[in-house]
């Protein structure tokens, strides 16, 4: 059609203009910049600089629907890290990938090239087959990593968990842990090895030497509208996990209105891509599609989620949190020990109930800087976990209002608790970041007092807000929009796990 022809012509003009500008800015048609270069990246000995990368033709090949070989992908990543390609050229290349996609083979090659751009963690021979981790695409109240890592360690696994900070509506594992007094997340590879020997698990931030290519590429994706590319998402996530030297990986791909992937179809596509890339890189991998319409557990907010995680490690806490911890842990144990998923699931349940997972968590806290008495008070069953964590000066219980009730009724059932609205509200309180430089308030957040399916009456409290300033009228209106009541009884919350991709 005429409109498609015009679109094709405009895209061709866009790429041509970008590549012409890139040749000028880079000092030559081969895409190599003039002037001094920084030292070469930490890449393994298969680097191949005999064949200079001609960036414009490489970009044009993908723009026109072509595929790159493994060797071409490797050279592209080397050129990006060694600054042989200008930012304009990288941006054009990423847009070509966004529009044309990548095959499974290309995505695996990109993942491995990202890994090769930096260091890869190595482990003693005695760890063979036992090094595991998980990754979540991000959710609301997503505290799974905190009880999962020590539960796996209590089952004999080694868990070198590398996590991130929160941004936007999703919380970050590192932010939650840093609400614990003294806990430190910046550690060396040597520290990780010692801690895995002594404890069996650690949860740390990413070091600069792991996957430096992804950091460069992600920074350009963010300003070129290419963040949503499935192959680029896949390589970014999976490369970091492959660089950990894992034997097995479980992926928690969230689905729903508070997830990055809001449809089951899109989530399945991403899960399939990541499973194929990780498996193609030598890591046994399974992905769980999990529901993200309602918050996970009851707590949303950093210190509040730590408290809830400790309750889970005591064999208590919300059912849906325990469901996800046991499901993800069960798959990882099954992948590495030869047992069935059901047996792996039962092992995770057992260590949550008998206190051994909690003991691992306490040992991990001390290893990562928390004073022993603080860790003990947080974890011992006779203590309230919240007493050693930051707390907000104000706590307000929000009641069910008569105006929210179905007409003519004095009671109703909770039909919905909107996770996205909860997350945005908590972010507004200070629990999250709108930009990466924002400071997080560890103490603020929300505690849900009801779940979907609960029967409520006018005046019943449905949420406790932890805050620093009095709630405004605008905030009160925002709270009222988070829940939906219906006149007839309805089922309780649906299962969290919606499907599995292997």
- What would you report as the CA-atom Rg of the chain, rounded to the nearest whole angstrom? 24
Which residues, in sequence order, are CB contacts of 343 under 8 Å at separation 6+?
Answer: 330, 333, 334
Identify whether 173 is a catalytic site residue: yes
pLDDT of residue 50: 54
Identify whether 401 is a catalytic site residue: no
Q: Token match 């400071």: residue?
A: 439
Identify whether 455 is a catalytic site residue: no
Yes or no: say if 493 and 416 are a contact pair by the CB < 8 Å rule: no
pLDDT of residue 259: 92
Ramachandran area for residue 431 (φ above 0: left; ψ -120 to 50: alpha; else beta): alpha
Q: Which of 32, 62, 63, 134 is catalytic?
A: 134
Which residues, in sequence order, are CB contacts of 92 under 8 Å at separation 6+?
Answer: 15, 18, 19, 22, 59, 63
**Closest residue by Cα to residue 203 from 39, 360, 385:** 360
The Cα–Cα gap between 320 and 496 comes to 7
Identify whether 134 is a catalytic site residue: yes
Provide, for the chain, the percentages of residues in helix, strand and coil under a 3-state DSSP scheme, each rounded to the nearest 5: 45, 15, 40
The Cα–Cα gap between 365 and 370 comes to 5
Q: Which of 111, 130, 136, 268 is catalytic?
A: 136
The Cα–Cα gap between 222 and 227 comes to 6
Q: Token match 């798959």: residue?
A: 331
List the strands of the sheet with 284-291, edge to edge. Answer: 132-136, 248-255, 284-291, 497-501
**Within 13 Å of residue 61, how many CA atoms lie on the same side as its CB?**
14
Q: Which of 143, 240, 284, 360 is catalytic?
A: 240
Identify whether 20 is a catalytic site residue: no
The Cα–Cα gap between 401 and 413 comes to 13
Q: Which of 145, 173, 226, 239 is catalytic?
A: 173
- Residues 361-384 as b/e (b if ≥16 CB within 10 A, e otherwise) read bbbbbbbbebeeebbebbbeeeee
Helices 55-63 + 2-26 axis angle, to 10: 160
Please name the helix (run of DSSP H) or strand (run of DSSP E) that holds residue 160, with its range, or none. Answer: strand 159-163
The Cα–Cα gap between 272 and 128 comes to 26
Phi, psi of 37 (to 5 degrees): -110, 155
Identify whether 57 is a catalytic site residue: no
Ramachandran area for residue 269 (φ above 0: left; ψ -120 to 50: alpha; else beta): alpha
Q: Which of 62, 135, 345, 496 is catalytic?
A: 135
Identify whether 26 is a catalytic site residue: no
Q: What is the DSSP letter of 459?
A: T
pLDDT of residue 206: 85
Q: Which of 86, 117, 133, 309 is catalytic?
A: 133
Helices 230-242 + 87-100 axis angle, to 10: 110
**CA torsion through residues 325, 297, 496, 489, sign:** positive
The Cα–Cα gap between 257 and 294 comes to 9
**Range list of H helices, 44-103:** 55-63, 70-81, 87-100
Regions of the chain where pLDDT drops below 70: 1-51, 166-170, 381-382
The Cα–Cα gap between 142 and 411 comes to 31
**For the residues of 223-256, what is the DSSP string, one character each?**
TTT-TT-HHHHHHHHHHHHHTTT-SEEEEEEEES
Q: Which of 226, 236, 273, 290 is catalytic?
A: 236
Q: Which of 75, 176, 241, 347 is catalytic?
A: 241
Which pair of tokens denotes residue 428? 């507004």
Identify whether 236 is a catalytic site residue: yes
Yes or no: say if 41 and 75 are a contact pair by the CB < 8 Å rule: no
| pLDDT tens digits along 300-310 | 999 999 999 99
pTM of the full predicted structure? 0.88
Q: Which of 143, 221, 466, 496 is catalytic?
A: 221
pLDDT of residue 411: 93
Task: Please work out, in degrees rounded to the nearest 5, the angle formed at the alpha carbon of residue 406 by the alpha carbons of 401 and 412.
Answer: 75
Which residues, in sequence order, are CB contacts of 350 under 8 Å at separation 6+?
Answer: none
pLDDT of residue 491: 87
**CA torsion through residues 414, 418, 419, 425, sign:** negative
pLDDT of residue 28: 41
Identify whether 240 is a catalytic site residue: yes
Yes or no: say if 240 and 211 are a contact pair by the CB < 8 Å rule: yes
Which pair of tokens denotes residue 222? 């963010």
């Amino acid at each position: 059609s005429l409109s498609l022809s015009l679109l094709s012509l405009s895209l061709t003009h866009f790429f041509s203009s970008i590549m012409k500008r890139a040749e000028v800015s880079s000092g030559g048609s081969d895409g190599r910049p003039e002037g001094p270069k920084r030292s070469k990246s930490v890449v393994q000995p298969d680097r191949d600089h005999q064949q200079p990368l001609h960036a414009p033709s490489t970009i044009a090949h993908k723009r026109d629907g072509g595929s790159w070989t493994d060797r071409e992908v490797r050279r592209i990543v080397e050129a990006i890290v060694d600054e042989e390609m200008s930012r304009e050229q990288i941006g054009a290349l990423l847009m070509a990938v966004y529009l044309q996609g990548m095959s499974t083979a290309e995505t695996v090659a990109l993942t491995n090239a990202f890994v090769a751009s930096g260091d890869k963690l190595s482990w003693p021979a005695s760890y063979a087959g036992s090094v595991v981790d998980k990754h979540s695409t991000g959710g609301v109240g997503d505290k799974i990593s905190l009880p999962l890592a020590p539960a796996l360690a209590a089952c004999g696994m080694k868990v070198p968990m590398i996590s991130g900070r929160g941004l936007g509506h999703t919380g970050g594992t590192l932010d939650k842990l840093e609400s614990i007094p003294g806990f430190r997340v910046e550690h060396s590879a040597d520290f990780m090895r010692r801690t895995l020997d002594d404890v069996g698990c650690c949860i740390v931030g990413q070091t600069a030497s792991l996957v430096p290519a992804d950091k460069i590429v992600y920074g350009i994706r963010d300003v070129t509208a290419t963040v949503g590319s499935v192959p680029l998402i896949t390589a970014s996530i999976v490369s970091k996990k492959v660089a950990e030297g894992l034997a097995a990986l479980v992926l928690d791909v969230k689905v729903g209105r508070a997830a990055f992937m809001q449809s089951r179809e899109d989530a399945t596509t991403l899960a399939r891509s990541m499973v194929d890339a990780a498996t193609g890189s030598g890591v046994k991998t399974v992905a769980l599609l999990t529901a993200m319409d309602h918050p996970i557990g009851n707590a949303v907010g950093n210190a509040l989620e730590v408290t809830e995680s400790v309750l889970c490690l005591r064999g208590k806490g919300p059912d849906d949190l325990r469901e996800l911890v046991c499901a993800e842990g069960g798959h990882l144990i099954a992948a590495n020990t030869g047992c069935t998923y059901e047996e792996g699931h039962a092992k995770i349940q057992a260590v949550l109930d008998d206190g051994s997972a909690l003991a691992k968590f306490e040992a991990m806290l001390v290893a990562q800087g928390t004073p022993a008495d603080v860790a003990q008070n947080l974890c011992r069953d006779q203590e309230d976990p919240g007493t050693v964590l930051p707390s907000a000066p104000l706590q307000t219980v929000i009641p069910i209002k008569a105006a929210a009730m179905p007409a003519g009724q004095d009671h109703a059932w909770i039909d919905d608790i909107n996770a996205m609205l909860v997350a945005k509200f908590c972010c507004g309180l200070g629990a999250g970041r709108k930009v990466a430089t924002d400071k997080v308030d560890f103490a603020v957040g929300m505690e849900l007092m009801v779940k979907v399916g609960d029967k409520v009456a006018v005046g019943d409290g449905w949420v406790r807000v932890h805050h620093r300033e009095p709630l405004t009228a605008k905030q009160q209106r925002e709270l009222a929009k988070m829940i939906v009541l219906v006149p007839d009884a309805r089922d309780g919350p649906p299962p969290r796990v919606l499907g599995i991709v292997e």
